[in-house]
Chain A
């Protein structure tokens, strides 16, 4: 099973820019299918990025975030070759994580 997370982090000087894409249906629970049945809610609740044992960013996501969400941020510090950990957990208790090297 391929990972649901794509991440690219690039260090330049004092700053590291991080971009990530997560594959997830992000069902709000308000949408009906073609048979008129409500599609049950299924969305990411928490997304975290860790670097050097420290949480860089915690995103509390919910039903209003789009399908296959994309996130981009930058932080001070981080250098080439450092490890960056990404993790998400959804409302059904499913989760996925990925460790990527900073470029």
Chain B
């Protein structure tokens, strides 16, 4: 074996060389200033070119926009959407006052109706990304209630109801001109494109490169609009699941130790993905195989 130091030196030389070449070709590449608007244009153009027959709203339907057979089954399922029971439970919880007499509606603009498309947002006061799920739990805690578990159950039911009141409203995620907001966006973007886990997959490996292709019996949803249908009733789970549940299982499927639900890493990822999907209408709650 070659001594470590020389290997490292060689790597450093290569890196330096690479940097010179890269800066020579793409002046912006090596030390890029985040430019979310340009990223969004390129991201959406990629999926438009890849699936030219699909209107942007269809991207909210994930695999059902990709495969005619699956779409037919889905339309059959939608005669009686399996998330109906969750929406009803969520509506009831949403309208039931807390012990102190306040309601969820008091915590949100517009009384919590038709606002799903604005989440997650960057809270410039706290300097962090706030998802709908996190806002719901903070609302509970402010009103003396215990926070709900994030992945399934009542949290999924409440977000299902709130999504249903926002159907058809296009994702409208803003990135304020704030260093921390840009850093959060960039962190989410980095996570999305980074290979992780024993299987060496990134989010993009499946949802960009292989979007629309089969992964065993499943059809991979394109990353554009991938969160528009959340929360979802997944037949595989036999129950409802939130974005956290999906991220957690995605991580585990690549043999990567998942983060805790609502970890800043996952929140930043949700921020990036939702921003990339600006213009895709909310279609949640959804069903998936």
Contact = CB atoms under 8 A, between A and B. Distances in A.
A5 to B, nearest CB: 10
B85 A2 contact: yes
Contacts of B82: 21, 68
Which secondary structure dominates chain A's binding surface? strand
Contacts of B58: none
B94 to A, nearest CB: 14
A6 B84 CA distance: 9
Contacts of A8: 79-80
Contacts, number: 20
A30 B133 CA distance: 35
B124 interface: no
Contacts of B238: 67-68
Contacts of A21: 80, 82, 84
Interface residues of B, number: 9
B88 interface: yes
Interface string B220-248: 00000000000000000010000000000
Interface string A55-75: 000000000000110100000
A21 B85 CA distance: 10
Nearest to A23: B85
B177 to A, nearest CB: 46
B128 interface: no
Interface of A: 2, 6, 8, 19-21, 23, 67-68, 70
Interface of B: 79-80, 82, 84-85, 88-89, 92, 238
20 contacts: A2-B85, A2-B88, A2-B89, A2-B92, A6-B80, A6-B84, A8-B79, A8-B80, A19-B79, A19-B80, A20-B80, A21-B80, A21-B82, A21-B84, A23-B85, A67-B238, A68-B82, A68-B85, A68-B238, A70-B80
Given A2-B88, A68-B238, 9 more contacts: A2-B85, A6-B84, A19-B79, A19-B80, A20-B80, A21-B82, A21-B84, A23-B85, A67-B238
